[in-house]
């Protein structure tokens, strides 16, 4: 939760002046977003979010992110729509950073989702996968199987500080994942970070998806595995099969998994747990001085990984036969 | 800039359910406010600010703050208006803290105010002083002349770390202020913290005042002296007499200073500089571990204090004869 970059009123007025949004009525930094600085912007034309892309975002990826939101919104997925400036561009510079204005999306993220929220999320994820099918720009997944070994190396020497034996356990698991990772599943644009804080609800109804800044091309079912981990475990670490079933059924109501995807689900879930275990481990061991964001506990994902190792077949997640 | 307290969606829905505001459509922590946690709340009934009063606020003072905003808003001062719950109360508890919902005020605070902004601010300050005249609740100024010696003692031993000779300079000045402080000026409710971040503008027009959480009863002209310091110095430390004149003229267009107030203005300005010098000095020397707020430089106020020592008569601030 942070605003990393200070924006003066003068810089703001100059930036917003390139859009057809009328006068600025209000401008407030919001305590949301780990990677970027976000501001709530009220103009005569309505409410918007202004995002400054901070240094962890590669500017070369911005046309993908911006284009993806435009593409998905055009396909009626509820997500922020980048607003175009009078010159037709959706990106500008503000306070030395690339910056964009997107439409404001109503909704509240749910801290303790129930099975119905999981079902809605599964459905929205499938909707996103279908809507993204003909998106022309591609972006490789920079946090995929191929990148895990180097990510691990950056933390390996200190991993046992977090939990004795952790380094060895990760090494064995990485070896397993390299040998068993599927090679031929349906691919497309995935969200890659669809945690509860990136899904908005009004009441029980899903109102939209946000934060597409990890989106990339990868196996569609891997995205679903990320959601299984993010949505279907209880705070005490137990897997909630009712939520798992709801998530998978919601997803399959729009995009049924094929046989290869079903078979791969346990290994994909292990990989998805590994990806967040490794990034959280790195962030935990490398908190920058003066950090505004508290690192998340990596061991939560070690527990999830261990759970998935006990799963033989996808039906154990609550997937129908 | 911070949100100190985490509020879950469940706690939020229960809290908002006591109001007639309809469903919660959106809820975002805002990176604003040094003392309290603030959230932007969008409900079916409109946009609001939800404030959680953190531990630096004395709960016994809340009826004063809430009542003052209600009183001032009823007198047509543009300021946040506390929203009443169905049971008629304007205060509740949320996440273990006292909390209130107030109306959302449009406007942007101006980083580099010009003379016109200063004039509008002077006028609004006078409007607040007049509107507060018949407010029934009283609150003593906890950061007045009588409290400066103890505040100084808390930093005295380390003051010279900030600037050699600072402890001695403050001691001499405190002695001067005790001997020359006026005893008989017009009193009333003062804002006591009307810095540029607490004044909103839409274009050049003042749209409202916020953050009444230092408000108290004291000399009205002391409030004006606080504004002289906060609004009329340039970033390089120079006093801008054009801004000073605009602030004072704006104020006097609604509430002319009497002769005793004019005579006292230089010493009030020294005292106002001392008050912020002392609190900034304390905060600078006592940054809590993991602080989310960067302390402000105390020496800015030492420079202002030194400037006011060179002033003999109020007319030098730009006040007409």
In B, which residues are within 8 Å of A110 by CB distance? 9
3-state secondary structure of B256: coil
Strand ranges in A31-179 using DSSP code E only, listed in sequence order? 37-43, 46-52, 92-94, 97-103
Token pair for B287: 């940054």
Residue A24 in contact with partner chain B when CB distance is under 8 A: yes
- Which among B23, B31, B111 is the nearest to A30, CB-wise? B31
Task: Give residue A292's pLDDT.
Answer: 61
- Which of A145, A192, A153, A198 has the alpha carbon at shortest distance from A171? A153
User: Looking at residue A172, what is its pLDDT?
Assistant: 97
Pick out chain A residues at pLDDT < 70: 1-3, 33-34, 289-293, 320-321
Q: Rounded to 10 degrees, what is the CA torsion of A157, A158, A162, A165?
A: 20
pLDDT in tens, B127-173: 999 999 999 999 999 999 999 999 999 999 999 999 999 999 999 99
- In this complex, the residue of A24, A111, A292 whose CB is nearest that of residue B292 is A292
Q: Is A295 on the interface with B (CB under 8 A)?
A: no
Q: Does A23 touch chain B (CB under 8 A)?
A: yes
Q: With 70 as the cut, is the pLDDT of residue B19 above it?
A: yes
Question: Which residue, among A60, A64, A73, has the nearest Cα to A216 in the 3D structure?
Answer: A64
The residue of chain B nearest to residue A288, with distances taken between CA atoms, is: B290
- Intervals of CATH 3.90.1200.10 along chain A: 115-317
- As given in the structure block, the two tokens for residue B9 are 């969606």
Instruction: Inform me whether the pLDDT recorded for B316 exceeds 90.
Output: no
Give yes or no for a contact between B167 and B153, defined as CB atoms under 8 angstroms apart: no
- Find how far residue B265's CA is from the centre of its chain: 19
- Quote the CA–CA distance of A252 and A261 in Å, as a whole number: 12
Considering only CB atoms, B40 lies closest to which of A24, A40, A202, namely A40
pLDDT at B274: 98
- The reported pLDDT for the residue numbered A75 is 97
Secondary element (H or E) of residue B299? helix B299-309
What is B17-53 written as a DSSP string? TTSS--SEEEEEEES--SSSEEEEEEETTEEEEEEE-
pLDDT for residue B294 = 74
Chain B contact probe: residue of A24, A28, A41, A208 with most B CBs at under 10 A: A28
List pLDDT tens digits, range A63-72.
Answer: 999 999 999 9
Asked whether the beta carbons of A94 and A13 are under 8 A apart, the reply is no
> Nearest-CA distance from A116 to chain B in Å?
16
Task: List, by residue range, all CATH 3.30.200.20 domains of chain A.
Answer: 9-103
What are the Cα distances from residue A276, in Å, to A4, A271, B97? Answer: 23, 9, 34
Q: What is the mean pLDDT of residues B192-213?
A: 96
CATH number of B9-103: 3.30.200.20
CA–CA gap between residue B270 and residue B278 (Å, rounded): 12
CB A263 within 8 A of CB A298: no
Closest CA to B215 of B89, B93, B58: B58
| Surface of A (217-256) touching B: CB under 8 A | none
Query: Do B108 and A12 make contact, defined as CB atoms within 8 angstroms?
Result: yes
User: Stretch B304-313: mean pLDDT, rounded?
Assistant: 92
Q: Which residues of A touch B26 (CB under 8 A)?
A: 104, 106-108, 200
Domain A115-317 has CATH 3.90.1200.10: yes
Which of A3, A24, A111 faces B108 most closely, judged by CB atoms?
A24
pLDDT at B300 over 70: yes
Best residue in B108, B109, B210 to probe A by mutation, most A CBs within 10 Å?
B108
Instruction: Tell me the average pLDDT across B24-49.
Output: 91
Q: How many CB pairs under 8 A join A and B?
A: 78
- Whether residue B31 and residue A110 make contact (CB cut-off 8 A), yes or no, is no
Residue from B30, B47, B117, B207 whose CB has the most chain A CBs within 10 Å, to mutate: B30
Reported as a single tens digit per residue, the pLDDT across A82-126 is 999 999 999 999 999 999 999 999 999 999 999 999 999 999 999
CA distance B278 to B260: 26
The pLDDT tens digits of the residues spanning B49-106 come to 999 998 888 999 999 999 999 999 999 999 999 999 999 999 999 999 999 999 999 9
Encoding tokens for residue B224?
Answer: 């004006």
Mean pLDDT calculated for residue range B287-291: 70
Res. B278: pLDDT tops 60:
yes
Q: What is the pLDDT of residue A12?
A: 95
Give this prediction's pTM. 0.88
Residue B281, burial from CB neighbour count under 10 angstroms (0-12, 13-18, 19+): buried
Cα A67 to chain center, whole Å? 17
Distance CA A242, CA B122 (A): 62
Pick from A28, A104, A202: CB nearest B32: A28
Alpha-carbon Rg for chain A in angstroms: 20
pLDDT given for residue B1 in this prediction? 40
When computed from its CA atoms, the radius of gyration of chain B, rounded to whole angstroms, is: 20
Q: To the nearest whole angstrom, how far is the Cα of A209 from the nearest Cα of chain B?
A: 13
**Which residue in A31, A107, A108 is closest to B31 by CB distance?**
A31
Bridging pattern class, strands A24-30 and A37-43:
antiparallel
pLDDT, one tens digit per residue, over B103-125 is 999 999 999 999 999 999 999 99
- Angular region, B76: left φ>0, alpha ψ -120 to 50, beta rest: left
**Nearest CB to B31; choose among A29, A42, A107:** A29
> Is A108's CB within 8 Å of B29's CB?
no
Q: Which of A275, A241, A297, A277 is nearest to A141 (CA)?
A: A275
3 state SS of A157? coil
Give DSSP secondary structure letters for B103-152: E---BB--SS--HHHHHHHHHHHHHHHHHTTT-----B-TTSGGGHHHHH
- Nearest chain A residue to B206 by CA: give it: A25
Contact B211, B193 (CB under 8 A): yes
Tens-digit pLDDT profile for residues B206-265: 999 999 999 999 999 999 999 999 999 999 999 999 999 999 999 999 999 999 999 999
Whether the CB of A202 is below 8 Å from some CB of chain B: the reply is yes
How, if at all, do strands B24-30 and B37-43 pair? antiparallel
């Amino acid at each position: 939760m942070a605003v990393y970059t200070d924006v003066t009123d003068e810089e703001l007025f100059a930036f917003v002046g390139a859009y057809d949004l009328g006068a600025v009525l209000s401008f407030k930094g919001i305590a949301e977003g780990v990677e970027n600085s976000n501001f709530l912007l009220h103009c005569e034309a309505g409410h918007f979010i202004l995002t400054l892309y901070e240094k962890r975002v590669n500017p070369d990826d911005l046309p993908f992110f911006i284009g993806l939101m435009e593409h998905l919104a055009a396909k009626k997925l509820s997500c922020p729509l980048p607003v175009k400036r009078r010159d037709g561009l959706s990106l500008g510079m503000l306070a030395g950073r690339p910056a964009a204005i997107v439409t404001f999306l109503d909704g509240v993220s749910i801290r303790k989702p129930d099975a119905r929220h999981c079902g809605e999320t599964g459905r929205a994820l499938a909707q996103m996968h279908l809507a993204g099918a003909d998106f022309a720009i591609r972006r490789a997944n920079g946090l995929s199987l191929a990148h895990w070994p180097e990510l691990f190396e950056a933390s390996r020497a200190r991993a046992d500080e977090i939990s004795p034996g952790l380094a060895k356990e990760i090494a064995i698991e990485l070896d397993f994942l390299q040998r068993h990772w599927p090679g031929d599943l349906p691919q497309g644009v995935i969200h890659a970070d669809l945690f509860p804080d990136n899904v908005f609800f009004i009441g029980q109804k899903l109102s939209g998806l946000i934060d597409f800044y990890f989106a990339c091309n990868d196996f569609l079912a891997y995205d679903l595995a990320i959601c299984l981990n993010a949505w279907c475990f209880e705070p005490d670490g137990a897997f909630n099969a009712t939520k798992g079933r709801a998530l998978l059924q919601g997803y399959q109501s729009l995009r049924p998994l094929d046989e290869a995807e079903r078979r791969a689900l346990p290994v994909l879930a292990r990989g998805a747990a590994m990806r967040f275990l490794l990034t959280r481990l790195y962030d935990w061991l490398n908190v920058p001085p003066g950090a505004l964001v508290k690192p998340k506990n990596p061991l939560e994902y070690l527990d999830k990984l261990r759970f998935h190792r006990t799963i033989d077949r996808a039906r154990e997640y609550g997937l129908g036969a």
